[in-house]
Amino acid sequence: LDVTNDNASAIDSIRHLRVAIAGLGLMGGSLALALRGRVVSLHGIEPRPDARQLALRDGLVATAEASLTVESPPIDLLVLAAPVRAILEILGSLPALRPDGCGVLDLGSTKRAVVAAMDALPEHFAAIGGHPMCGKETAGLAAASANLYRGQLFVLCPTARATPALESQALTLLAAIGARPAFLDAGEHDRLAAAISHLPYVVSAALMRAAAEERQWSLAAAGFRDATRLAGADPRMMLDILLTNREAILTALARYEVELTALRKALARGDEAALGDWLAAAQSAHAAYRRAGDLTGRRPKPLSD
């Protein structure tokens, strides 16, 4: 089984699956678009009437309802594509709502809390944590795209409920949508995500807040636009990320503040040598990151308008 390509065998082996997607935003909607016509049934679970109606109207899902209930249709694989604390809530209600159990995969941005909740599911559930390392500035179903996952890394986190059958199903699903799987322990995921995803968000949002009173946007060039792009992220999603990955984010933030303080102090005393070293090391680190991107084919885009 070649799990890295969108190939015929992968597409064929998920054809029998009855899939339900809880959360029809950017991630859930994009997954629905990528799976549409490729699985035997696609059911949407989405509390917001507008998103639910849009998903039905555009045929992203065949059926939809506001929330999972004991009356919901049969589900082989339930994909949780909601903010992390909404995922935790659904996982908590799952034993009562799905007495016969089912397979569960989530797309949440933090993994320790989700995997702990999956570990606590009854043994007749199969569950695996997931985090696709992709997204868009614009949240919501309207921004969904069938190609969102194509070529993107998709982290899978082992749980006490991860059966070989479910792992194989998850890998097949990833192959069908063109994502590249990477297994990672939930704690390690959250530590890394704090440094390369959650901290950049916090930094970008603080920058946007600090610049907000200027309102001289006509002077802002591509650099400002890129540095503040993450500040546009959905606050509800970000709130759940911050609250479910507090320790790791505080650690990453402390390391960041050490760097910033060193710069500020060197600047305050006009220490040219210290400033020069600090700047040169930042550029070297960026060059190393770019080279790594070149190697993996994830080349950073050039800066241009």
* Window 139 to 198, contacts with a copy of itself (CB under 8 A): 151-153, 155, 182, 192-193, 195-197
Residue 261 CB, shortest distance to a copy of itself, in Å, is 9
In the complex with a copy of itself, which residue's Cβ is closer, 1 or 292? 292
Residue 234 and residue 200: Cα distance in Å, rounded? 15
- List of residues 6+ apart from 130 with CB closer than 8 A: 105, 106, 107, 108, 154, 155, 156, 157, 170
Contact letters (x/-) for a copy of itself, 217-236, by CB under 8 A?
xxxxxxxxxxxxxxxxxxx-
Stretch that binds a copy of itself, among 29-37, 72-80, 103-111, 246-254 (CB under 8 A): 246-254
Residue 78 and residue 55: Cα distance in Å, rounded? 17
Residue 26 CB, shortest distance to a copy of itself, in Å, is 11
In the complex with a copy of itself, which residue's Cβ is closer, 165 or 287? 287
In the complex with a copy of itself, which residue's Cβ is closer, 47 or 232? 232
What part of residues 111-140 is at the interface with a copy of itself (CB under 8 A)? 133-138
Residue 141 CB, shortest distance to a copy of itself, in Å, is 16
In the complex with a copy of itself, which residue's Cβ is closer, 158 or 232? 232
In the complex with a copy of itself, which residue's Cβ is closer, 66 or 250? 250
Residue 258 and residue 118: Cα distance in Å, rounded? 36
Residue 217 CB, shortest distance to a copy of itself, in Å, is 4
Could you report how far apart the first and last alpha carbons of the chain are, in Å?
A: 42
Q: Judged by CB under 8 A, which of 17, 42, 82, 201 binds a copy of itself?
A: 201
Rg, Å, the chain Cα set:
21
What part of residues 253-282 is at the interface with a copy of itself (CB under 8 A)? 253, 255-260, 263-264, 267-268, 270, 272, 275-276, 278-282
Size of the site for a copy of itself (CB under 8 A): 97
Strand partners, 41: 18
In the complex with a copy of itself, which residue's Cβ is closer, 39 or 113? 113
Residue 160 and residue 129: Cα distance in Å, rounded? 11
Residue 239 and residue 245: Cα distance in Å, rounded? 10
57 forms part of the interface with a copy of itself (CB under 8 A)? no
The CB density around residue 37, as the number of other CB atoms within 10 Å, is: 9
Check: CB of residue 134 under 8 Å from CB of residue 152.
Answer: yes
What angle do the packed helices 235-244 and 199-211 form, to 10 degrees?
A: 130
